[in-house]
Structure 1
């Protein structure tokens, strides 16, 4: 069955607000077995919204629409849906009762503008919003069943999973194909290089659709397959995954789509090992990535940001002679920082970063994009130097941090 997604709002149309909703909805619909054929975006314009809804109604079996269900004058989606469906707006008793209860529980005053949110197209089915004031609704337009949801991501996600999915599961009858998506995360190759390596896999597995998604600095390989049942589809994906693993080898982080920090943390946990980090150029980003993972307290012991040379010496205990001889951005300094962090915390491993994130500060010998990473293990302390071709400060900080975790990952996988 064909599905389409429509996001509404001037902020989304103009690019002032990134449309993360459509990406989430598409993933959920694909996993539910729908083929998402098109994403559309339209501003707060009544004729434009109505026109696009009519067009989608000719093409799609199912559509999910987000935004424009609020109480203000620029919230036009319900009115546009009524116009597209050739019906009038009516105050829906279910929607109004839901809103009155929602406001009463919070001791809020319901205004005339709020009551506007209970105006739904005739024939629409109200969809309760458990976490917000704007009810959603379902309405048939043309041949398609449309689900209208709030634009607030937290509200949209809860309603999509709890209200929409149960509704659309009954649309298949006995004709439903089973579909699965496999997400394989990789690091170390660009999108074009990953694609080049997978050309043979794509050719050998015509029943599996292969897509690439860049989430800097990782590349995710998405495998899509459909079939009559879960066993058939899982078998197709397993065989294709084997091909991807064979071609990409250690560039693969996870065949479950896990990020670098999740993979590195999982390896530390399985080995019952601990980590301490000393950072300079990344300013705590490595530690932030690690501690974003629930349960990281099981293996993460210490974090220190030593930005100046004096703080490296006084706070971490780096040998002054090493910095005076080699400078702050050098493998030897990185090794000292990692060893000091490991010693301070009594950790199994110490990890460090020192570099030039840019956009200025580089030299011919140490250009912008240079990072030195130290890794202290129970057996030895190692230093690494990389120079990346970016001048953007935030890109470099992110890449430096992920590269440090990549070095740790390689060590833990030995």
Structure 2
């Protein structure tokens, strides 16, 4: 069974309001076993609304329309639905009585003549009572498509979708059980184009799976999606596709459970009963913030220090003044001593230290903006790294710096070459 979603209103078509309704509806429909094939958006124009409703009615089994059910002149959904179905608008007694009850409870009357306009529904439609607002919804067959009309106010739409629309869709599905299965693989260290090249043959090998790539800076998400009646078979198919992907780009995949880098790192630290201390300069506490976003991180995260100035590196972490003088703050020797200092202060088994130039200024020919030095302290040594990657914006540079540091420690803990 295929479905479409239509959002109406100038405020949405012109970008003044973000359409969160469609994403919510699509997720609920997919959970119900209904495939959403299109998202549509039309402004407050009667002819355009009639046209799109007829188009949807000719190609889809189900449609959910939001918005345009209010009392004002630009609320056109009921009129457009009637024209699209070739019927008249009639006063619907169920809608009228529900509105009357709502207004009596709220302000002691049926409301204005404009309010009563909301009880005019297309002939042959079924009223969907709105328990939390004035505008009733309705369901109407337009051509072969069962079309549900709901208010655009999110909390009203959500309530009516759950209470009245989804149960009706379940009845339409009958005894058909459709499973929707997804798998999200999170990648860091490869550009989207590179991921695409590595996986260029996947559609030929796994033709039943839909594969999508989404850039979610600073990571890339690979989404595997499959639907069908055999739940066990679908899971096996996803397992096989995941295994194929891991053979291709496994060293860049940090999660197959849609978890963040910090969640994956925290899980590994907890499993190994290891502890961590962090000394940050250029990342300004961002690494520590990410780590402590994970519930339970106090079990393994022992120390955080933002030593932004040279003197604080010396005074707090014990970095040698000679190192600062001879090497500068952005140097592998400096982050080595910073990481050692963090471990010494906290008694942790592992340490991270960062120092770099996030920009937009501060770079030199020798150390341009985007230069990053990282120290990863282990129980037996300190490994140091230097990178140069400038994304043009300070916040983006800091974000990528923090992710690189966490990824280096994750690989160290798992024995994966950096």
Shorter-normalised TM-score: what interval? 0.7 to 0.9
Residue aligning to 1:230: 231
CA shift for structure 1 position 200: 3.2
Q: Secondary structure at the match of 1:179?
A: strand
Residues 7 and 22 of structure 1 are in contact (CA less than 8 Å); yes or no, is this contact kept in structure 2?
A: yes
CA shift for structure 1 position 50: 4.8
More displaced stretch, 4-13 vs 198-207: 4-13
Residues 273 and 300 of structure 2 are in contact (CA less than 8 Å); yes or no, is this contact kept in structure 1?
A: yes
CA shift for structure 1 position 293: 2.6
Q: Secondary structure at the match of 1:395?
A: helix
Taking structure 1 as reference, are residues 286 and 51 closer, same or farther at Cα in structure 2, changes over 3 Å only?
farther
Q: Give the Cα separation in 1 of the matches to 2:192 and 2:99.
A: 47
Root-mean-square deviation (Å): 3.6
The TM-score, its normalising length taken from structure 2, stands at: 0.81
Q: Give the Cα separation in 2 of the matches to 1:33 and 1:282.
A: 44
Residue aligning to 1:338: 339
Taking structure 1 as reference, are residues 298 and 118 closer, same or farther at Cα in structure 2, changes over 3 Å only?
farther
CA shift for structure 1 position 117: 11
More displaced stretch, 142-151 vs 354-363: 142-151
Residue aligning to 2:61: 61
More displaced stretch, 218-227 vs 44-53: 44-53
Residue aligning to 1:126: 128
Q: Secondary structure at the match of 1:224?
A: strand
Q: Give the Cα separation in 1 of the matches to 2:113 and 2:290.
A: 43
Q: Secondary structure at the match of 2:29?
A: helix
Q: Secondary structure at the match of 1:213?
A: strand
Residues 126 and 135 of structure 1 are in contact (CA less than 8 Å); yes or no, is this contact kept in structure 2?
A: no
Residue aligning to 1:328: 329
Taking structure 1 as reference, are residues 230 and 394 closer, same or farther at Cα in structure 2, changes over 3 Å only?
same
Residues 72 and 113 of structure 1 are in contact (CA less than 8 Å); yes or no, is this contact kept in structure 2?
A: no
CA shift for structure 1 position 12: 3.7
Question: Which of 1 and 2 has greater Rg?
Answer: 2
Q: Give the Cα separation in 1 of the matches to 2:26 and 2:261.
A: 24
Which string of whole-angstrom CA distances, capped at 9 and with x for unpartnered residues, describes residues 170-228 of structure 1? Answer: 32224554332222222221112112212233222222222212111211111122333
Q: Give the Cα separation in 2 of the matches to 1:300 and 1:402.
A: 17
Residues 118 and 136 of structure 2 are in contact (CA less than 8 Å); yes or no, is this contact kept in structure 1?
A: no
Residue aligning to 1:266: 267
Residues 33 and 179 of structure 2 are in contact (CA less than 8 Å); yes or no, is this contact kept in structure 1?
A: yes
Residue aligning to 1:240: 241
Residue aligning to 2:35: 35
Q: Give the Cα separation in 1 of the matches to 2:116 and 2:360.
A: 51
Q: Secondary structure at the match of 1:199?
A: coil
Q: Give the Cα separation in 1 of the matches to 2:33 and 2:160.
A: 18
Q: Secondary structure at the match of 2:33?
A: coil
Residues 5 and 65 of structure 1 are in contact (CA less than 8 Å); yes or no, is this contact kept in structure 2?
A: yes
Q: Secondary structure at the match of 2:246?
A: helix
Q: How does 1:36-185 map to 2 (within 5 A)?
A: 36-45=36-45, 47-67=47-67, 84=84, 86=87, 88=89, 91-94=95-98, 97=101, 119=119, 121=121, 123-126=125-128, 137-142=137-142, 143-148=144-149, 164-185=165-186
Q: Secondary structure at the match of 2:181?
A: strand
Which string of whole-angstrom CA distances, capped at 9 and with x for unpartnered residues, describes residues 273-327 of structure 1? Answer: 2323232222322222222233333333333333333333344443333222222
Q: Secondary structure at the match of 1:53?
A: helix
Which string of whole-angstrom CA distances, capped at 9 and with x for unpartnered residues, describes residues 332-389 of structure 1? Answer: 2222333333333333322232222223322222222222222222222222211124
More displaced stretch, 133-142 vs 292-301: 133-142
Taking structure 1 as reference, are residues 180 and 316 closer, same or farther at Cα in structure 2, changes over 3 Å only?
same
CA shift for structure 1 position 406: 0.8
CA shift for structure 1 position 31: 4.5
Q: Secondary structure at the match of 1:329?
A: coil
Q: Give the Cα separation in 1 of the matches to 2:389 and 2:308.
A: 21
